[in-house]
Structure 1
Amino acid sequence: MSNWIRFLAFFLCAAFTVAFGLGAIWAPWLIILALVFAALTLVGIRDVTQTSHAILRNYPVIGHLRFMLEHIRPEVRQYFVESDEDEVPFSREARAIVYQRAKNVEDKRPFGTKKSVNASGYQWLTHSIQPRKIEDKDFRVQIGGPACLKPYNASVYNISAMSFGALSANAISALNRGAKIGGFAHDTGEGGISRYHREGGGDLIFEIGTGYFGVRDEHGNFDPDLFAKVAADDQVKMIEIKLSQGAKPGQGGVLPASKITPEIAAARGVPMDRDCVSPSSHSAFSTPLEMMAFIKQLRDLSGGKPVGFKLCIGHRREFMCIVRAMLETDITPDFIVIDGKEGGTGAAPLEFANHMGMPLVEGLTFAHNTLRGVNLRDRIKLGASGKLIHAFDIARALALGADWVNSARGFMFSIGCIQAQACHTNHCPTGVATQDPVRQRALVVPDKAQRVANFHRNTMKALADMTGAAGMTHPSSFLPHHLMMREKDGVMITGHEVYPYMPEGFLLREDDDRFGYLSRWKRASSASFAPFDLGI
């Protein structure tokens, strides 16, 4: 749909106002129609000039149909109907809560719990008969291992990786300015650091993907000197090596030449006359031992800033290969981010999005226990990402082993994303995922930046309320036994029974083979990711 067609209803209203106004000279009754269309024209003028609703700025007059339809549907259907996640992109409940918190609107609802409380698999947190009042809701975690010279005091809730190119300039700017207001971190995604990241002034987690965008030479290889220059920026707080992405693990990506603007080319360090390709694997290393050397190189070049990596767990043995390399070299990352396969993406093959990679809970639990098994858990912080929106999502991730949580989807909702699923078309109706300058104009940066900060602050308040209700003072105190779930009618089990913390050092002692950890550990090698046999 062209930009002009989007404004067609507005233009027609203006044209009918003039036409019926002139026609009233001969047929006075036409003045009624002229007044009606004049009123609609004024509505359209207000739509394109207001700053609160991106839909109305991009679709003046006709955009009101969306809001009318929302009000026609019963509220219970709009927000709290049980949704089949295989059929809809995300539950209306989650979007509604994000929008309310971003706009500082009351997010409480009457008439109790939604119907899924009676379903098998329902989960909840245990609470205390002596709850606590938590005044300081700015929950933090210090990230940085023994070799780190500049540890980062991070919020427990940060913006997950989304690249400039996938998101619009206005979206990046709003997210980063919101992070600055709220005092939390913004992951750049693998698309490099753009001027919109820098202008916002928010803390950055600089993600380095397989294309080494922003720190590559003319052949697409990693450029140490360029990296050192970029990493020296005080705004860059941590460096994250992306091994894989939850929604499409094992795949790279392509940004078509038609979508590459001069600003995207400058941020990524790529030419504009050809497709921008992210390979499926890294060229800077090919073995676990080489990967540890690369981590040390990045830490040294950055002046001692925290360096880690992100991955979606696939072959569990391969993760153990990396851990073996840590032990043999005594080089450890400062952090690891586990990305669940339920994480989002602008575009992914359906089979990959639905059936490739390990979901977050299982991946997080496995990584946490593997590190415990070799006595490295205290040296390495764990982040978690993958459809984490609510305070309950955060609390559950922390209980199962995470130190902090990243969210892309929640913060996209906060700047106006309605999940139109048009990210790959360049026709995003709210200006979030498009490089069309007219469409992204609908996203007003100052307004949306404040909403980003509001969403973070109100979510931290909700997390504080849940933490206090459990009788604790910090959400890091949540453990698996605080998580309960219904297995079937009349039978409930604790998170510790399903996702237990394995004993520290058990892999080194080789005395516990629950869940197949030890058998895989014996097959893992620091010298290669290649399997000794067909076991995964």
Structure 2
Amino acid sequence: MRLRFTRVSERARYYERYLPFVIAILMMPLGYALTGPAPVFGTVVALLGLAGTLTGIYDLIQTQHALMRNYPLSSRMRYLLEHFRPEIRQYFVEDDHAETPFSREQRAVVYRRSKGIEGVRPFGTLHDVYSDGYEWLNHALATTSLDSQDFRIRIGGPDCTRPYDSSVVNISGMSYGALSPNAIEALNRAARAGGFAHTTGEGSISRYHRMGGDLVWQIGSGYFGCRDVNGKFDPGSFAENAADDAVKMIEIKLSQGAKPGHGGILPGPKVTEAIAEARGVPVGVACVSPSSHSAFSTPRQLCDFIARLRDLAGGKPVGLKMCVGHPWEWFALAKAFHATGIAPDFIVVDGGEGGTGAAPVEFADHKGAPLRDGLMLVHNTLVGVGLRDRIKLVASAKIITAFDICRISALGADSVNMARGFMFAIGCIQAQSCHTGKCPTGITTQDPDRYRALVVPNKAERAARFHAATMHALKEACESSGLEHPDQFTPHHLMIRTSPREVRSAASLYDWLAPGVLLSEASAHPAFAKYWDRAQIDSFAMAG
């Protein structure tokens, strides 16, 4: 009896494999029969049956997919659901706080603020305030009342003759080529309207960046916009571009979060005329950013390059962008800054969680120090060598709200750069198709049919409104903590729950170096104890 039942079950599963195909075949005569009493409906049924039958026949005879041969027609439902899985998860499955990569709550905050919609929440927080890792900022009984939300910091060390008064919230580097012309133009117009800075990305300054907004010109290993015919650094073209009044600062890109090599390959296989014009490369040729810089190969040489760029730029601030990797390499840089007396005016610390147009999953998930760890290491090092007051620190990676800004300021940052936040502001829906050239909102594509739908004046207004609303929220956060400026947040203001019954401030939870301590004695901090003495200014390699 059991054997017979087993055989019946096997036959049932066998027939189930072909049931959709059989139904499609039967729909053709059924539709034909219905054309008499219901001509339109019958024709539709017959045509659907014909299409399904032809598709099923193709599935049976093709040799590329075993699943389709074993399950004609029905297997296609699996592929269809798999195709729409990210959208199904994003809109129907994930909760408001699942950061994959940005949560629904984070996106909603940006959308509301960019549209000028009230962002208050009724009935209290949705977070579990007693879960491990929950964070909050202490408020003050003696609050402040600030007249302005236009928080600024002055960037420019003693060797800089043309310092820049920067907003504490600016646009992070996103190249034209990775972003569409309309997206770049909208962001730059927003920067002009809101009085904040727009970092070009390593793709250099395009015609769409020249809409009146302040620019931070990013120089990558491809030296786009300042390269000779061999791809080497060209001081003449650099000086010409750096003289533009819109260019307020120069940023040397060493690495970034999800693409931690010294540059990597920029998105897009072959460049258009406008991209070629910005980058100084031939039209139609593959645009590759080398894996390392050719203008320097040691920490000391990087210091010389910084001084050279500052001189060629007429005294404008010159800084670095980096995601922390080997700690001894960063320590070598810090030692070189101290030994040579040549230091960058600012350092943008990118986190390993920071996004990019496209990156291998191994890089996106497991390369580069996360922002907090990298920032605190850089901050501690500069304090330890007595250079922290001279160098401003900019944090960049998954920063969206005013709380994100306050938290990272408490851990050592002077200002922040946002990329995805401003992308959401101009319409990004996190479709995660940036690398395909088929962005549904026209932001990360060079297809005119797609990016023409992105209306520049409207999107520029939204991005500027998002910046203004974020600055207003930041002002209220400072006032409630009794502060005058975000740079007054300290580790003592940030509280972190370590267990259901224990809470510690960031000041006590993490190790913090005393000013100048690395110049006179060894630090007990694990990273410094292991690697500080093995870092050398004439090589990025660790001494034996």
Q: Same fold judged by TM-score > 0.5?
A: yes
Is 2:244 aligned against 1:244?
A: no
User: What is the aligned partner in structure 2 of residue 90 from structure 1?
Assistant: 102
**Cα offsets for 1:123-177 (capped at 9, x unmatched):** 0000012322222100000000000000000000000000000000000000000
Partners of 1:464 and 1:241 in 2: CA distance: 31
Structure 1 position 273, deviation (Å): 3.1
**Amino acid of the residue matched to residue 177 of structure 1?**
R
Q: What code does the residue aligned with 1:490 have? A: R
Q: Any idea what SS the aligned residue of 1:115 has?
A: coil
Q: Which of 412, 418, 424 is the matching residue for 1:401?
A: 412
1:184 aligned residue: 196
1:162-201 alignment to 2 at 5 Å? 162-198=174-210, 200-201=211-212
| Alpha-carbon separation, structure 2, partners of 1:367 and 1:254 | 26
In structure 2, what is the Cα distance between the partners aligned to 1:492 and 1:299?
Answer: 46
Please give the alpha-carbon distance, in whole angstroms, between the structure 1 residues aligned to 2:296 and 2:311.
17
The CA distance in 2 between the partners of 1:258 and 1:491, in whole Å, is: 53
Alpha-carbon offset, residue 275 of structure 1 = 1.1
For residue 488 of structure 1, the aligned residue among 496, 499, 519 is 499
Which SS does the other structure have where 1:133 is aligned?
coil
Q: State the distance in 2 between where 1:436 and 1:273 align.
A: 15
Q: Is it true that 1:506 corresponds to 2:507 in the alignment?
A: no
Q: Distance in 2 between matches of 1:343 and 1:245?
A: 7
Q: 1:257 to 1:155 in 2, by over 3 A?
A: closer
Give the secondary-structure state (helix, strand or coil) at the position aligned to 2:256. coil
1:151 matched residue in structure 2: 163
Give how far 1:258 is off: 5.0
Give the one of 302, 320, 323 matched to 1:312. 323
Shift of 1:108: 1.0
> Tell me, what secondary structure is at the counterpart of 1:520?
helix
The equivalent of 2:432 in structure 1 is 421
Contact 1:164–1:264 under 8 Å retained in 2: yes
Q: Does the aligned pair in 2 maintain the 1:163–1:190 contact within 8 Å?
A: yes
Q: CA deviation at 1:349?
A: 0.4
Residue 382 of structure 1 aligns to a residue whose secondary structure is strand
Post-superposition Cα deviations, 1:84-136, rounded to whole Å, max 9, x if no partner, equal x4xx2210000000000001101112121113323210000000123222221
**Are the structure 2 counterparts of residues 133 and 301 from structure 1 closer, same or farther at C-alpha, using a change threshold of 3 Å?**
same
Change (3 A) 1:117 1:478: same
Q: Alpha carbon RMSD of aligned pairs, Å?
A: 2.0
Is the contact between residue 259 and residue 435 of structure 1 (CA under 8 Å) also seen in structure 2? no
How far is the alpha carbon of 1:255 from its aligned partner?
4.5
Are residues 424 and 458 of structure 1, via their aligned partners in 2, closer, same or farther at CA, if it must alter by over 3 Å? same
2 CA distance for matches of 1:362 and 1:177? 34
Shift of 1:202: 0.2
Relative distance call for 1:255 and 1:381 in structure 2 (3 A) is: closer
Matches within 5 A, 1:91-490: 91-198=103-210, 200-250=211-261, 252-255=263-266, 258-490=269-501
Could you tell me which of 77, 81, 102 is aligned with 2:96?
Answer: 81
Kept in 1: contact 2:398–2:420 (CA 8 A): yes
Q: Partners of 2:176 and 2:267 in 1: how far apart?
A: 14
Q: Secondary structure at the match of 1:319?
A: helix
Residues 296 and 278 of structure 1: CA distance in aligned 2, closer, same or farther (over 3 Å): same
Q: Which letter does structure 1 place at the counterpart of 2:304?
A: A
Equivalent residue letter for 2:412: G
**TM-score of the two chains, using structure 1 as the length reference:** 0.83
Q: Tell me the CA shift for residue 82 of structure 1.
A: 3.2
- 1:394-430 CA-to-partner distances (Å, cap 9, x unmatched) read 0111111111100101000000001111111110000
> 482-491 or 245-254, which moves further after superposition?
245-254
Structure 1 counterpart of 2:255, which letter? S
Identify unmatched segments of 5+ residues in structure 1: 1-26, 28-65
Contact 1:513 1:519 in 2 (8 A): no
| Shift in CA distance, 509/232, structure 1 to aligned 2, threshold 3 Å | same
% of aligned pairs identical? 58
In structure 2, how many angstroms separate the alpha carbons of the residues matched to 1:519 and 1:390? Answer: 36
Partner of 2:528: 517
Kindly name which structure, 1 or 2, has the bigger radius of gyration based on alpha carbons: 2
Residue of structure 2 equivalent to 1:44: none
Residues 350-405 of structure 1 show CA distances to partners (whole Å, capped at 9, x for unaligned) of 01101010000010000001011111111111111000111011011111111110
Deviation at 1:489, TM superposition (A): 0.6
Whether contact under 8 Å (2:258, 2:354) holds in the other structure is: yes
The one-letter code matched in structure 2 to 1:435 is Q
Show CA shifts across 1:466-485 (max 9, x none). Answer: 11111112111100010001
The answer to whether the 8 A contact 1:250-1:280 is kept is: yes
| Residues 178, 268 of structure 2: 8 Å contact kept | no
Distance 1:90 1:354 in 2: 14
Q: What CA distance in whole angstroms lies between the structure 2 residues aligned with 1:253 and 1:425?
A: 18
CA distance in 1, matches of 2:268, 2:254: 24
Letter in structure 1 aligned against 2:382: L
Whichever residue aligns with residue 153 of structure 2, its letter is V
Instruction: Note the C-alpha offset of 1:438.
Output: 1.1
Q: Using CA pairs below 8 Å that are at least 6 residues apart, which structure has the higher relative contact order?
A: 1
Deviations 1:436-457 (A, max 9, x none): 0110011100001011110000
